[in-house]
Amino acid sequence: MTHAALNKAFERIEQQRNNLFDRLKIYDDKVLNQKPDEASWSVIEVLRHLTAAEDFSAQYLDKKTKDVNAGRKTGLKEAFRSFLLNAYLGSPKKFKAPDIAVPLAGYATLADTRASWDIVRGRLQDIWKGLPAELLDRNWFKHPVAGKLNLMQMLTFMEAHASRHEKQIWRALKEVSDK
C-alpha cells in the first residue's frame, strides 16, 4: 500500500461526499432537519452520524499511530472481515448504530454540518500522510464489529457506509416531502 493509493481512495470518498452535498443543497435546512417519523433520523442526523463515525475513527487512528510499533500487518483474515463488512453494508438488513455514533439531536444547517465533516476528513488524511509508507498496511483502524483493519480497508468501509446511508437520506427526503 502506498500514500498514492490511499490518496486515490480518499479522493473517491471525497467525490462521493461532494456529490451528496451538491444534491442536498437544493433543500431547505428545515426539510433536512425534519424526521420522517419519531423512530427515524433526519437527513442532518444521518450526516452527523457519518461525521461522528469518522471522527471516532480519526481519534482512534491518532491515538494508535502515536506508537508505530502498536499496529501489525494485515493479511487474509482482515481482508475477509473487510469483505464481509462491506457486503453487509450493501445488504438491506437494518442494524443499530453503535452508541458512540448516534447523531446529536437538534437543528443544524447543511453548511455547518458539512464544515464539521470537512474538519474530520482533513484530520483523517493528515494522520496517514504522517506515516512512513512501510506502516500503511498495519491494522490502525478498529471497526466495532469487524475489528482491526488497515487504512485502505477503512476507506473502503467509509465509502460503503456512506453509500448505505445515502439510500436512507433519499428515503427520508421522499417521506418528508410526501407529508
Q: Which of 33, 174, 171 is nearest to 113 (CA)?
A: 33
Which architecture, in CATH terms, is 3-177?
A: Up-down Bundle (1.20)
Buried b (16+ CB within 10 A) or exposed e, 54-66: bbbbbebbeebbe
> What pLDDT is stored for residue 38 in this prediction?
84
Q: What is the C-alpha separation between 47 and 53, in angstroms, rounded? A: 10
Band of residue 102 on the pLDDT scale cut at 50, 70, 90:
low
> What pLDDT is stored for residue 128 in this prediction?
81
Read off the pLDDT of each residue in 58-67 and give the average, rounded to a whole number: 88
Tell whether the model's pLDDT for residue 127 goes beyond 90.
no
Band of residue 178 on the pLDDT scale cut at 50, 70, 90:
low
Tell whether the model's pLDDT for residue 106 goes beyond 90.
no
